[in-house]
Amino acid sequence: MSGNMLESSLLETHFDVIPFGIYVVDVATHDLVFVNRHFRDRLGDLAGRKCHEAIYESPQPCLFCKIRNLVGRDGLPSGKTYIFEHFNDKDDRWYQLQEKSMSWPDGRVVKYSIAVDITELKEVQNRLAEAHAELALKNRELSRQNELLQENVRLREHVDRIARHDLKTPLNALIGIPPLLPDYGLNEEGRKLAQMMEEAGITMLNMINRTFDLYRLETGGYELAPVDVNLAAVARKAAQDVVASVYMADEPVRVELSGQGCGDGESLVIRGEELLCYSILSNLVKNAVEAAPPGSVVTISLGREGGFAVVAISNPGEVPVGVRDRFFQKYVTSGKRDGTGLGAYSALLAIKAHGGRAKLDASQPGRTTVTIFFPLPETASAVP
C-alpha cells in the first residue's frame, strides 16, 4: 500500500467511526470521493457519482453549493468553514451542514461535508415560524378590514356633512320669515306663535351645528381659536339658561367662586372658546339638574388649584353604579326618557380640546360631583 493510499485509508477509517453523515467531493469535478459508513448505510456507495445528482437528485450543482467559497483563486483550500441548515427533499429531513475544503491524500482539493440531522429541532422552530406567518397573515387581513371600515366611515361622514348642509338651507326660511310676519298683520297670539317658530328654527340650527362640532371634536379636526373666556360669567349664564329650560324652582343652581356666591363682577379667566365652554357647562349642569331630586340645589363651584381653573358641578343624587365607569362614554344615559347619551361625552371632548380633563366623583353617598380642570393661561402656555 502506498503512502497516499495508507493516508486515505486512515482518513476514511476516522470518518467511518463518526456517527454523522460525511461525504467528500472533488471541488473541481463535483465527483464524490468518499462517503462515510453512516451515509453508505442509508444511501448506498455513491463514490464516483456527482454529489448533486447522487445526494440531491439535481442535474445541476445545487443553488446552496459552497464549493466556490471554499477554495481560493489559486484553487487551494481557503481555510473557511461554512455552517448552515439545509432541508433535503430526498429524505424530507433537515440537516446542519458543516463544510470545509482540504487536500485529499491523492492531491485533489476536496470539500468535506458533515451533515447532522436536526429534523426534530427544526420541527419546533418551523411550528413557531408558521405561527408567526399565520399571525402576520391575520394582521394583514385585519388592517385591510380596518381600511375598508375607515373608508366606509369616511363615506358616511361625507354623506352626513352633505345632509347637514342640506338641512340648513330650509332653516333659512324658518328662521328668517317669522320676524317679518307681524308686518303682515298678526294679533298677539299670532306674534307669539311666529316667535316660537323662529326659536324652534334657531334651536334646530344650533343642534345641527353642534353635531358638526361633535364630529370635528371626535375626529380631532376641531381647531380651537382661543381667546380669554371668563368661566364665572359662562357658568352663571349656563346656570340661568338651564334653570329656564329645565327646572322651574326658584334657585336650583348656585354658582360659587372660591366658596363665595359668584356675582356679576367676578371672573375666572382661561384661554378657550366661549361657546364651547358654555356648551360644556350647560350640558353637565343640565345633567346634574335632571338627576337631582325636585327642590334640591345644584352647585357650580369655581376656583383655582395648582395651575388649573377648577369647576365642580355637584348635585344630590347618585349615578347608578353600572354607569359610573362609563359616565363620559358615548351613548351612555340613565333614567332620562329623551337622553341621547351625548351630553357628558361631548363635554369631555370639548374639555380635552381645551387641554383639560374631567372626573366623576360618586364616592360621597347621595351626592354626585363632576369636576373639570382647565389649564390656566400660564399653565396652558407652558404645555407644549
Partner 1 sequence: MRPLNIMVVDDSNLTIKKMVKMIEDLGHKVVHVAQNGRQAAEDYPNVRPDLVTMDITMPDMDGIEATRRIMAVDDKAVIIMVTSHGQEQMVMDAIEAGAKGYVLKPVKMEKLAEHLEAVAGKYLS
> Of the two residues 83 and 137, which places its CB atom closer to partner 1 in the complex?
137
> Of the two residues 15 and 39, which places its CB atom closer to partner 1 in the complex?
39
Alpha helices for 247-363 (secondary structure H): 274-291, 321-324, 343-353
Asked if residue 86 binds partner 1 (CB under 8 A), the reply is: yes
Asked if residue 134 binds partner 1 (CB under 8 A), the reply is: yes
> Of the two residues 43 and 249, which places its CB atom closer to partner 1 in the complex?
43
CB 175 within 8 A of CB 202: yes
Q: Name the segment binding partner 1 (CB under 8 A); options: 53-61, 96-104, 160-168, 309-317.
A: 53-61
Q: CB of 40: closest distance to partner 1 in angstroms?
A: 21
Asked if residue 136 binds partner 1 (CB under 8 A), the reply is: yes
> Of the two residues 52 and 271, which places its CB atom closer to partner 1 in the complex?
52
Asked if residue 133 binds partner 1 (CB under 8 A), the reply is: yes
CB 217 within 8 A of CB 349: yes
Residue with cell 351645528: 209
CB 276: neighbour CB atoms within 10 A? 24
> Of the two residues 128 and 202, which places its CB atom closer to partner 1 in the complex?
128
> Of the two residues 60 and 206, which places its CB atom closer to partner 1 in the complex?
60
Q: Name the segment binding partner 1 (CB under 8 A); options: 33-41, 59-67, 107-115, 176-184.
A: 59-67
Gyration radius from the chain CA atoms: 42
Q: Name the segment binding partner 1 (CB under 8 A); options: 81-89, 261-269, 289-297, 310-318.
A: 81-89
Q: Name the segment binding partner 1 (CB under 8 A); options: 38-46, 121-129, 150-158, 358-366.
A: 121-129
> Of the two residues 133 and 148, which places its CB atom closer to partner 1 in the complex?
133
Asked if residue 144 binds partner 1 (CB under 8 A), the reply is: no
CB 326: neighbour CB atoms within 10 A? 16
Q: Hey, which residues between 215 and 254 contact partner 1 (CB under 8 A)?
A: none
CB 23 within 8 A of CB 38: no
- Residue from 42, 140, 158, 165 touching partner 1 (CB under 8 A): that is 140
Q: CB of 21: closest distance to partner 1 in angstroms?
A: 17
CB 294 within 8 A of CB 315: no
Distance between CA 334 and CA 255 in Å, rounded? 26
| Helices 274-291 and 231-246, axial angle in degrees (round to 10) | 40
Cell output for 159 = 354623506
- Residue from 49, 93, 108, 237 touching partner 1 (CB under 8 A): that is 93
CB 304 within 8 A of CB 310: yes
Residue with cell 347619551: 341
Q: Hey, which residues between 165 and 204 contact partner 1 (CB under 8 A)?
A: none
* Pair type for strands 298-305 and 269-272: unpaired
Distance between CA 174 and CA 347 in Å, rounded? 29
CB 29 within 8 A of CB 67: no
Q: CB of 174: closest distance to partner 1 in angstroms?
A: 51
365: helix, coil or strand? coil
- Residue from 1, 17, 63, 248 touching partner 1 (CB under 8 A): that is 63
- Residue from 4, 6, 28, 87 touching partner 1 (CB under 8 A): that is 87
CB 213 within 8 A of CB 222: yes
Asked if residue 151 binds partner 1 (CB under 8 A), the reply is: no
Number of shown-chain residues binding partner 1 (CB under 8 A) = 24
Which are the contacts of 105, defined by CB distance < 8 A and separation ≥ 6? 3, 4, 5, 7, 8, 11
Asked if residue 132 binds partner 1 (CB under 8 A), the reply is: yes
- Residue from 6, 9, 29, 64 touching partner 1 (CB under 8 A): that is 64
CB 313 within 8 A of CB 288: yes
Q: Name the segment binding partner 1 (CB under 8 A); options: 40-48, 130-138, 290-298, 304-312.
A: 130-138
Distance between CA 242 and CA 245 in Å, rounded? 5
Asked if residue 137 binds partner 1 (CB under 8 A), the reply is: yes
Distance between CA 285 and CA 58 in Å, rounded? 83
Q: Which residues are at the interface with partner 1 (CB under 8 A)?
A: 57-58, 60, 63-64, 86-87, 89-90, 92-94, 119, 125-126, 128-130, 132-134, 136-137, 140
